[in-house]
Amino acid sequence: MPKKVKDPDAKRLQKLRSALRNVWQYDPLRKAVISAVTIKDPENGKGFNCPICGHDWPIALATVDHEPELGSFTLETIGDWVHRLFYGPQRAICKPCHAKKPKGKRKSA
């Protein structure tokens, strides 16, 4: 049986996506999304309220979610994807709700 030929750009796109998301992790606009929902409670420290489940969580369980999802990109559509990554609609949700999102909506490039 012949060996399956892999798309040579697939690994490159995966690495590029990972690098761009690492840069986005430190972006001031992303940090502003978390700061905007942070509630300071003298008894419990910092927290936030998840808009999906409605529970109050410690701020450490906040994650930024793109809505609509970013999806994957190709070399032709990378510009639009990067623009949506940094400037598209973002919201803070809890990590449990983020993990429940369908995996098809969170596929890598």
For the segment 65-105, what is each residue's pLDDT rounded down to a tens digit?
A: 998 888 888 889 999 999 999 999 999 999 999 998 776 55
CA distances from 83 to 28, 65, 67, 87, 90 (A): 15, 15, 14, 6, 12
Residue 55 lies in a domain: yes
- Give the structural domain span for 60: 32-106
Structural domain includes residue 79: yes
For the segment 15-24, the average pLDDT, to the nearest whole number, is: 94
User: What pLDDT, on a 0 to 100 scale, did the predictor assign at position 1?
Assistant: 58
CA separation for the pair 26, 108 (Å, rounded): 20
Structure-model confidence comparison of residues 6 and 83, the more confident one: 83
Q: What is the pLDDT of residue 35?
A: 92
What is the pLDDT confidence band of residue 23, given thresholds at 50, 70 and 90? very high
| In-domain check, residue 38 | yes
